[in-house]
Amino acid sequence: MQQLMNHIAKDGHQVSNYQELYDFSIRLPQLFWAYVWDFGSFVQSHPHTSVLENSEKMPGATWFKGAKINFAQNLLKFRDDRTAITSYNEYGKQQQLSYAQLFNKVARLSHWMVQQGVKPGDKVVGFMPNVPETIITMLAATSLGAIWSSCSPDFGLQGVLDRFGQIEAKILITTDGYFYGGKTLNSLDKLNQILPQLNSIEQVVVVPYVNTSLSVNEISALLPNVASDKTINLFATCINNDASDIEFAELPFDHPLYILYSSGTTGAPKCIVHSAGGTLLQHYKELAFHTDVKPDDVLFYYTTCGWMMWNWMVSTLMTGAGLVIFDGSPFFPGADVLWKMAQQEKISIFGCSAKYISHLEKLNVSPKQEFELTHLKTVLSTGSPLSHESFEFVYREIKQDVCLSSIAGGTDIISTFTLGCPILPVYQGEMQCIGLGMAVNIYDEAGQPIDPASGEKGELVCNAPFPSMPIGFYQDAGNKKYLSSYFERFENTWAQGDIAELVPHSLHNTGLSKNNKDFKNSKLNQHYLSVIIHGRSDATLNPGGVRIGTAEIYRQVEKIDAVMESIAVGQKWPKDGDDERVVLFVILRDGLSLNDSIIQEIKKTIRINTTPRHVPAVIIEVNDIPRTLSGKIVEVAVRETIHNRDVKNKDSLKNPEALAYFKNLPELS
């Protein structure tokens, strides 16, 4: 970050702190992104003629017109003997690939794909666990200009068909199974039902992962429903050639790279198409500057191949750093499994979900007591807002001198709006900063910016184009779904669907509060803004007409030792004049049952630390909470269920059976 500021300052621009750099990136986006492009030393076969055209249009802006690049080529520009990928599962280390070995495997698979007629715009999909072959296949496909899309093998049958069934893929890669929580799970059984409904698939590539000795004939016998027009191949056979180089397709900046999917909790998943250049540039900015990834770093992120953090994590390869990947449960064979790995691989950047950190705290795990973590410099957290208590836990039980970066963005932008910054302090419960080049603001209901000094919450928006905006949705005539998803709420402005708050901090005197008259009189370049996310807009509670983000309640409930997890929704309650009341569902520790003492502790904690409006009218114990396929709790599905309305797309849920716990509850009638 400091090098970038020095680089820009040499040209006469005033950028001596983060806020000045951020202001520069918003005020002069063409210049800023040109600096990032130059700084990244991206491999390109043809230079751009302009950085940004139609900057007033959202959507409609054009980035790096004329440039010809290849995404895979930029992730494979290092070809030496340093470690590129180290893979683990629940049984320990599985593979280690140098950058040279990675390039060699990608070259051989790319050569095989050329023989199968793969060309720019074709789709290659992965029904894969988080193993090196997933990364190799993605790189081979994108080296030819094909579009990559993936689902985790724990997705349900219909969940996979709802995604892959929309995009007409040519090649599918899978493993025979995967491991989770000490169990061995079969992928081929599910695939036997999926493949007959994916008519466009011509080639199936299988990685024998559970049973490493499987032959093609044995695999074919396990797939009796697969039609004869689909050829089954072993991964090892596909790369059994002597190709030593790759003829990278030279493609425009906005050539499609990935198809990602919305959660699908309100209908069929939307197929979000992301560009090669936008993904490359945005990920470089976030990894190199905001996460301070250097070639001697080792980065790990706990993710599946069905979450956009997998795509984000893989982009680490463009920095020359080492990448550690893990397949399996983060709590098997014990809660320390990821920290043993962190010690062994000397991980310097450790990424996980907020829920993972909260669960460690509930289990009284103390990684710093058990493991040598001197190399750890950054902890990344996303998936949901990180509570104040989790901030305390990280610094108390993991490491005192880490940069704890709570980040937020999403599948929609394959990146983040708010994230970490290595040259700013960390404030409990807050995301350190708005990302460079992201014109983020908070709007009220009328579409007017909210003064950060007011402390009010509103809709998180972005009112200027950024490179990683989607190209659009796949097969979306006239961009109708795309426009209605993000631009219907406010004209020419991206609405992210989060309730958020901007928090000013003085750069020169962090002791000044936002209510201090000296702070209010300070100049813009003397303070910067951090961000608090209060929850999803569609899950906002509204008792008595007061908007409450669910994260405000979860933060308090997580303090209760008896509670492992919770979910809060609003219920229409005619007895209060058609008002809404807050209903809280809790999962308790093993061996405990909800009683009046626990109920009163929950209510008292919420009332003391928030307002009486936040206190749930009803608290109910449940055995499970519905989640999306990427593991996020789904307030909307619970709200619909308690109101006896149909949940539109249960196949988008990882555990739709959990909805049964919320049906026809006498406490809510």
**CATH numbers and ranges of domains, the chain:** 540-668 (3.30.300.30)
Question: In DSSP terms, which residues pair with 46 in a beta bridge?
Answer: 68
Q: Please tell me the predicted confidence (pLDDT) of residue 520.
A: 44
Q: Please tell me the predicted confidence (pLDDT) of residue 508.
A: 58
The residue with tokens 């002069």 is 28
Q: Please tell me the predicted confidence (pLDDT) of residue 384.
A: 86
Q: Please tell me the predicted confidence (pLDDT) of residue 158.
A: 87
Q: In what order do the strands lie in the sheet containing 563-573?
A: 563-573, 579-588, 618-621
The residue with tokens 């390869």 is 317
**519 close to 529: Cβ distance less than 8 angstroms:** no
Q: How confident is the model at residue 516 (pLDDT cuts 50, 70, 90)?
A: very low
Q: Please tell me the predicted confidence (pLDDT) of residue 538.
A: 84
314-353 pLDDT, tens digit each: 999 999 999 999 999 999 999 999 999 999 999 999 999 9
Number of residues that make up the chain = 669
Q: Residue 267 pLDDT more than 80?
A: no
The residue with tokens 């069934």 is 165
**Residue 659 CB contacts under 8 Å (≥ 6 apart), including other chains:** 626, 637, 638, 641, 647, 650, 653
Q: How confident is the model at residue 521 (pLDDT cuts 50, 70, 90)?
A: very low
Q: Please tell me the predicted confidence (pLDDT) of residue 525.
A: 42
User: What's the Cα-to-Cα distance from 431 to each of 391, 500, 547, rounded to whole Å?
Assistant: 11, 11, 21
Question: In DSSP terms, which residues pair with 461 in a beta bridge?
Answer: 441, 495
Q: Residue 513 pLDDT more than 70?
A: no
Q: What is the mean pLDDT of residues 453-461?
A: 94
**633 close to 627: Cβ distance less than 8 angstroms:** yes
Q: Residue 626 pLDDT more than 50?
A: yes
Q: Please tell me the predicted confidence (pLDDT) of residue 650.
A: 84
Q: Please tell me the predicted confidence (pLDDT) of residue 577.
A: 61
Per-residue tokens: 300: 């790990």
Cα separation, 486 vs 494, in Å, equals 5
Q: Please tell me the predicted confidence (pLDDT) of residue 288.
A: 98
Cα separation, 663 vs 35, in Å, equals 55
Q: What is the mean pLDDT of residues 291-310?
A: 97
Q: Residue 264 pLDDT more than 80?
A: no
Q: Please tell me the predicted confidence (pLDDT) of residue 292.
A: 98
Q: Residue 545 pLDDT more than 80?
A: no
Higher-pLDDT residue of 598 and 262 is 598
389-405 pLDDT, tens digit each: 999 999 999 999 999 99
Q: How confident is the model at residue 651 (pLDDT cuts 50, 70, 90)?
A: confident
User: Number of C-alpha atoms within 13 angstroms, CB side, residue 568?
Assistant: 28
Cα separation, 263 vs 314, in Å, equals 21
Per-residue tokens: 343: 């010690």
**30 close to 55: Cβ distance less than 8 angstroms:** yes
Neighbours of 92 (CB within 10 A): 10
Q: What is the mean pLDDT of residues 37-44?
A: 94
Q: Please tell me the predicted confidence (pLDDT) of residue 205.
A: 98
User: What would the 3-class secondary structure string for 107-133 be?
Assistant: HHHHHHHHHCCCCCCCEEEEECCCCHH
Q: Residue 620 pLDDT more than 90?
A: yes
Per-residue tokens: 76: 């494979």
**Residue 644 CB contacts under 8 Å (≥ 6 apart), including other chains:** 663, 664
The residue with tokens 């044995």 is 218
Q: pLDDT over 90 for what percent of the chain?
A: 86
Q: Please tell me the predicted confidence (pLDDT) of residue 218.
A: 96
Mean pLDDT rounded to a whole number for the chain: 93
**469 close to 413: Cβ distance less than 8 angstroms:** yes
Q: Residue 23 pLDDT more than 50?
A: yes
Model-level pTM?
0.90
Q: What is the mean pLDDT of residues 447-475?
A: 95
CA nearest to 152, candidates 131, 124, 123, 182: 131
Which DSSP category does 542 fall into? -
**271 close to 404: Cβ distance less than 8 angstroms:** no
